Amino acid sequence: MYKNNFNLLRLYGAFQVLLQHSLYYLSNDNSREDNYTFFIGNLMQQFHGVAIFFLLSGFLIFMSYDKHPNIVDYTINRVLRIYPALYVNIFVSLVILYIFGYLYFDFEFFSWFIVQITMFQFYNIEMFRGFGVGVINGSLWTISLELSFYILLPILVFIYNRNILLIIIIFISSFLLWIYDIYSNHSIIYNRLLHISIIPHLFIFMIGMIYYKYFNTLQRYIKDKFLIWILLYLLFLCISNDMNFHKFIIYFIIKWSLFSLVVFSFAFSWRELSYKLLKGNDYTYGIYIYHMLIINIFVTMGFVGDIKYLIYIILLSILFGILSWYLIEKPFLKLKKHSLFNELKNKKENSETVNTKF
């Protein structure tokens, strides 16, 4: 299992969100749907980066907790993964806001700052509405969800071990509320609060948990099967688009089933690919948390409506992702007590060494 393409999948996920936001906020064309760049963006929407993040989190975080269920170690590892890079990102945000004249140290600011350094990063204040797109770093709302997943996972495992029916009810309820969310009016406050909460997204995380829990059974259907599942998924998208049955529940059931199979089959096909390309490095988090800061600077300065600005943003986001990884994330991750895939690799290598002695 230690040979996989998880880092490559996460990198794609970050790039998809980066491209989607850049295309949307840098365009000054009112007819965006007619622009070929938005055709590319809409196509990539079918392989949405945030959904990939949640699926992989369910798999990997469950695996981490299952291998080392000590709640103290689990908490320390999760803190080391999220907060050091996040805090540096918040500091950089404050510097940018100060330079552009949008920072005032009043009660509103300190209330925002406190929730940013805890776990409610979706919160925004009026002070920043004039800067860029109106939200200093809108991408951070998913950090709140990830932190909620981390907290909830041990509880879900506890419930699963005692009442699997309740787990099924939680899963179905989250799935139905997700369907409601995508058709709801987000200008209504309670719909907007639902959207940024963990509730309609929890089932995606739980799908990832299912793939880990039943991996020994499912691996025969996903290992080296990526081409099969991607073709079936694309065929389904074409057929469903022609038949126009997007509002039926069965459509979403089939779509999420195929999408998850696409993601995990890629994770376990060509399993050396990620290491060959990335050498074990993971620039995803840095790209994800910095790209909206960069977009906001470009929008504030009026650098929109030209493809060259899109290229600049992509390059700068990659640069910040690399710097974040080498200067912050990687050093702090070395403090973790357990490196899961390294342990699996060492266990396999030790087993192979023993076998060669007989």
pLDDT for 95 equals 95
Half-sphere exposure of 148 toward its Cβ, with a 13 Å CA cutoff? 18
Confidence of residue 236 (pLDDT cuts 50, 70, 90): very high
pLDDT for 21 equals 92
The residue with greater pLDDT, 140 or 38, is: 140
Confidence of residue 343 (pLDDT cuts 50, 70, 90): low
| Statement: residue 252 has pLDDT above 70 | yes
| Statement: residue 340 has pLDDT above 70 | no
**What residue ranges do the domains of the chain occupy?**
6-356
Dist. CA 266–CA 5, nearest whole Å? 7
| Statement: residue 196 has pLDDT above 60 | yes
pLDDT for 187 equals 83
Confidence of residue 245 (pLDDT cuts 50, 70, 90): confident
Least confident stretch, 157-161, 192-196, 342-346: 342-346
| Statement: residue 262 has pLDDT above 80 | yes
pLDDT for 74 equals 92
The residue with greater pLDDT, 207 or 121, is: 207
The residue with greater pLDDT, 279 or 43, is: 279
Dist. CA 147–CA 119, nearest whole Å? 7
Q: What is the pLDDT of residues 70-112, one digit of tens each?
A: 999 999 999 999 999 999 999 999 999 999 999 888 899 999 9
pLDDT for 265 equals 97
pLDDT for 31 equals 43
Q: What is the pLDDT of residues 305-334, one digit of tens each?
A: 888 999 999 999 999 999 999 999 999 999
| Statement: residue 345 has pLDDT above 60 | no
